């Protein structure tokens, strides 16, 4: 994924995260995907290479990661 010229970065979270226990993802993407705890907006974020993030999302969507307790 490439960033468009003049595009602004913003944090987004799933519409399924009504209880507040969620993460936010910063986009649009250029060289890294940033992920943070939505309850600690000025806290640290984790960054992932785009390919690593895509593999993670694909694994979740395909059920390859199992269910977390």
pTM to 2 decimal places: 0.67
Cross-strand pairs, 11:
26
Which two three-digit tokens encode residue 33?
């995907």
* 2 assigned to some structural domain: no
Indicate whether 68 belongs to any domain: no
| Domain range enclosing 28 | 8-62
Computed over every residue of the chain, the mean pLDDT equals: 78
DSSP 38: T
C-alpha torsion 56→61→64→67, nearest 10 = 100
- Distance CA(59)–CA(64), nearest Å, equals 5
Q: Does residue 3 belong to any structural domain of this protein?
A: no
Nearest in space to 1 (alpha carbons), one of 25, 24, 23, 27: 27
pLDDT reported for residue 29: 61
- State the average pLDDT over residues 35-44: 88
Domains: count for the chain: 1
């Amino acid at each position: 994924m490439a960033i468009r010229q003049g595009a602004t970065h913003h944090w987004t979270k799933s519409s399924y995260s009504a209880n507040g226990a969620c993460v936010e993802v910063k986009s649009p993407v250029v060289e890294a995907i940033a992920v943070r705890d939505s309850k600690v907006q000025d806290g640290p974020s984790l960054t992932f290479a785009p390919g690593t993030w895509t593999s993670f999302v694909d694994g979740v969507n395909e059920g390859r990661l199992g269910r977390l307790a």
